[in-house]
């Protein structure tokens, strides 16, 4: 039996869903959706590291509440993300979205406390099934197909995890979810499963496909959990795996170019998510205590500042009906508070001093240099400049300051401003005073972010990036905002493979039609020929009298009897 304080935090969310259905739409439901993550966060805060809740299941010992500093910090930020997301969605009166948000947050929190691979699998698939309804809640044909693609990929990740867990159990005799070493089919499948949710290169397009297709509030909630759950899983299972360093470096670089040419600002932020995840993956791959601290702290900061940017763009979309850069601009005139909050998010993601990104990303970049990865260090520095261009500048510039779109929408609703304000405050608070966040990290932090070299070096990088953006815009070299959808690797399964399948299907259909025509014609001719020969008017009926036929039947019968007698004689 588990102690009361070890009742899985996920169950708080799961048990609340039926209660939500009994409440009337409006403030009662919205308030309940805020109380739940607050209660869950209080429980997680109260849990002492080292506690564990175990149950027996078909001969397996399942660890539903493995509490240590790594799981605790992710549990806390997930509860906070659920609170902020539900506050932002205060106006929503859609039961589907409300239930999906509850179950999604609960499954993600359950997964970070899972101490074994079987429990992890159930929560892993739970996040996929619950979150897809945030896409389908948009209730358009495009959202339906996007949701199906997303669900296929996410369920596939779960299948890989399950098969990997089975193979891992056969190899080791345990299903404990602890640090693993690549080298067996089981661990490689588990690694692949984590990579899908973490949006590794060539496995990443579900992020750009799904986030812009979800509802305005659903996108904010989506960005908080799935990819950060994958970061947690990699930090738990594959810390120090060197291949992650190179995977992460690629992740930081390739989204920069796609984000620069993308017109849909929510897709820009989706590419930016790939970029920021790359920094975390590099930190996990380096694997030192300080690098892991950097990866975890940057995941916490990312939930806040990326959520803030998605909320500001979502607020603009809520008021104008679009998130396309070519259709926005000049909104600062009537949405000044949202504009300021967007600038805070832009400064945080760009790692300006006194903002959260500066005190978290620096841990990772410094460790790549300290562990003698100069090329990776240079790649991360270049990627940091790219972040400023596509997220720090492009998002606020094209949403609020670029060409005047002529739109004069009202300021964002009060509850949206409160949600954005909370995320902005925390992004600044962490940047100014990082010690409380550092105290929550898995390992002791021996790092001082505000040294002269750190501050001056980062300001130089940011100033040169700003100068480069200004020169590109001034000379008309910066990619223009063109209406359309830019595809990268998803071209293979959204255009190439469907075209190939269509051609193959068409040719197969033609071949089958020809074969069918040939086969039916041949059989028809054979039947006609036999009928002409043996039918009532056929040659055999005309030339063979009935008596002859009876005689032949008697002869054949006699031969049969003789052979049968001989075989038994």
Domain that holds residue 213: 1-237
282 with 166, same domain: the answer is: no
Separation of alpha carbons 307 and 423, rounded Å: 8
Q: Which domain-ending residue is among 194, 211, 237? A: 237
Q: For residue 407, is it within any domain? A: yes
For tokens 């690098």, what's the residue?
Answer: 291
Whether residues 126 and 160 share a domain: the answer is yes
For 413, list phi and psi in degrees, rounded to 5.
Answer: -60, 160
Q: Is residue 219 located within the same domain as residue 358?
A: no
Closest CA to 331 of 313, 346, 348: 313
pLDDT of 490 reads: 62
Going by C-alpha positions, the residue among 354, 361, 366, 345 that lies closest to residue 430 is 354
Contact partners, residue 243, CB within 8 Å, separation at least 6: 182, 285
> Which pLDDT score, from 0 to 100, does residue 291 have?
94
Q: Which two tokens stand for residue 296?
A: 């975890």
Long-range contacts, 458-461 (Cβ 8 Å, 24+): 458/351, 458/352, 458/353, 458/358, 458/362, 459/353, 461/381, 461/384, 461/385
Q: What is the mean pLDDT of each run of 10 residues along the chain (569 residues)?
A: 65 88 86 93 87 75 88 95 95 92 94 93 94 93 92 94 94 91 93 95 89 93 93 95 95 86 89 93 94 95 95 95 88 94 94 92 92 92 85 88 85 96 96 94 90 85 76 66 61 68 79 74 71 60 63 78 69
Same domain, 516 and 425: no
385 and 428, same domain (yes or no): yes
Of 131, 113, 299, 101, nearest in space to 206 by CA: 131
Within 8 A by CB and 6+ apart from 384, the residues are: 350, 351, 361, 365, 461
Domain end residue (candidates: 237, 255, 281)? 237
For residues 453-469, b (16+ Cβ closer than 10 Å) or e, as one string?
Answer: ebeeebeebbeebbeeb
Q: CA-CA distance, 411 to 395, in Å (whole number)?
A: 18
Secondary structure class of 3 (helix, strand, coil)? coil
- Tell me if 232 is assigned to some domain: yes
On whether both 82 and 203 belong to a single domain, the answer is: yes
Same domain for 107 and 225? yes
d(CA 397, CA 400): 6
pLDDT at site 341: 96
110 and 193 belong to one structural domain = yes
Residue 539 placed within a domain: no
Instruction: Mark whether 499 and 517 lie in a shared domain.
Output: yes
Give me 483's structure tokens: 């209406």
Which of 186, 211, 237 is the last residue before a domain boundary?
Answer: 237
Tokens of residue 239, six digits: 């810390």
Contact in structure between 338 and 420 (CB atoms under 8 Å) = yes
pLDDT of residue 547: 66
Q: Do 169 and 248 sit in the same domain of this protein?
A: no
Q: Map residue 67 onto helix, strand or coil.
A: coil
Q: Indicate the SS3 state at residue 193.
A: helix
Structural domain total, the chain: 4
Q: d(Cα 286, Cα 294) in Å, to the nearest integer? A: 10
State the DSSP code for 48: P
Q: Are residues 154 and 226 in the same domain?
A: yes
Q: Torsion angle of alpha carbons 515, 518, 521, 523, nearest 10°?
A: -70
522-550 CB burial, b ≥16 within 10 A, e <16:
eeeeeeeeeeeeeeeeeeeeeeeeeeeee
Count Cβ neighbours within 10 Å for each residue of 299-313 and write b for 16 or more, e otherwise.
bbbbbbbbbbbbbbb
Give the Cα separation of 83 and 227 in Å (integer): 18
Positive or negative, the Cα torsion across 300, 302, 308, 314? negative
* pLDDT for residue 83: 96
Torsion (CA) 559, 562, 567, 569 in degrees, nearest 10 = -170
Q: How far apart are CA 121 and CA 106, in angstroms?
A: 14
Co-location of 7 and 19 in the same domain: yes
What's the pLDDT at 1? 40
């Amino acid at each position: 039996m588990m102690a009361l304080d070890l009742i899985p935090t996920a169950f708080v969310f799961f048990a609340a869903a039926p209660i939500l259905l009994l409440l009337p739409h409006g403030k009662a439901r919205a308030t309940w959706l805020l109380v739940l993550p607050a209660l869950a966060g209080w429980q997680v805060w109260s849990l002492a590291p080292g506690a564990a809740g175990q149950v027996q299941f078909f001969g397996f010992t399942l660890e539903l509440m493995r509490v240590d500093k790594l799981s605790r910090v992710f549990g806390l930020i997930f509860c906070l993300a659920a609170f902020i997301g539900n506050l932002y969605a205060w106006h929503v009166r859609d039961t589907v979205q409300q239930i999906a948000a509850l179950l999604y947050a609960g499954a993600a929190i359950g997964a970070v406390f899972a101490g074994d691979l079987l429990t992890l699998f159930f929560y892993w698939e739970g996040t996929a099934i619950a979150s897809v309804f945030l896409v389908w809640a948009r209730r358009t044909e495009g959202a339906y197909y996007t949701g199906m693609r997303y669900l296929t990929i996410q369920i596939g990740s779960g299948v890989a995890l399950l098969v990997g867990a089975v193979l891992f159990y056969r190899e080791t005799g345990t299903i404990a979810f602890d640090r693993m070493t690549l080298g067996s089919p089981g661990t490689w499948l588990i690694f692949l499963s984590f990579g899908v949710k973490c949006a590794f290169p060539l496995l990443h397009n579900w992020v750009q496909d799904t986030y812009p297709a979800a509802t305005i509030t659903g996108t904010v909630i989506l960005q908080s959990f799935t990819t950060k759950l994958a970061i947690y899983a990699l930090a738990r299972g594959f810390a120090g795996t060197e291949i992650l360093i190179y995977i992460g470096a690629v992740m930081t670089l390739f989204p920069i170019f796609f984000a620069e040419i993308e017109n849909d600002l929510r897709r820009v932020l989706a590419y930016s998510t790939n970029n920021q995840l790359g920094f975390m993956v590099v930190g996990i791959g380096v694997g030192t205590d300080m690098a892991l601290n950097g990866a975890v702290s940057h995941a916490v900061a990312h939930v806040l500042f990326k959520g803030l940017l998605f909320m500001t763009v979502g607020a603009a979309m809520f008021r104008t009906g679009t998130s396309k850069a070519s259709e926005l601009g000049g909104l600062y005139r009537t949405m000044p508070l949202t504009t300021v909050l967007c600038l805070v998010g832009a400064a945080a993601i760009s790692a300006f001093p006194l903002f959260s990104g500066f005190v978290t990303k620096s841990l990772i970049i410094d460790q790549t240099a300290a562990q003698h990865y100069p090329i990776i260090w240079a790649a991360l520095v270049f990627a940091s400049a790219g972040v400023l261009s596509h997220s720090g500048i492009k998002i606020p510039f094209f949403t609020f300051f670029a060409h005047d779109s002529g739109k004069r929408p009202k300021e964002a609703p009060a509850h949206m401003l409160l949600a954005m304000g909370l995320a902005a405050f925390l992004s600044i608070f962490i940047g100014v005073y990082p010690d409380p966040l550092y105290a929550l990290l898995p390992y002791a932090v021996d790092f001082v972010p505000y040294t002269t070299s750190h501050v001056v070096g980062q300001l130089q990088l940011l100033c040169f990036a700003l100068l480069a953006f200004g020169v590109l815009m001034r000379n008309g070299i910066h990619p223009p905002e063109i209406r359309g959808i830019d595809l990268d690797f998803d071209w293979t399964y959204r255009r190439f493979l469907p075209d190939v399948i269509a051609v193959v299907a068409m040719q197969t259909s033609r071949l089958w039609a020809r074969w069918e025509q040939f086969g039916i014609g041949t059989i028809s001719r054979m039947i006609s020929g036999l009928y002409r020969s043996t039918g009532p008017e056929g040659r055999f009926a005309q030339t063979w009298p009935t008596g002859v036929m009876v005689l032949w039947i008697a002869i054949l019968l006699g031969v049969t009897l003789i052979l049968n007698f001989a075989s038994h004689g």
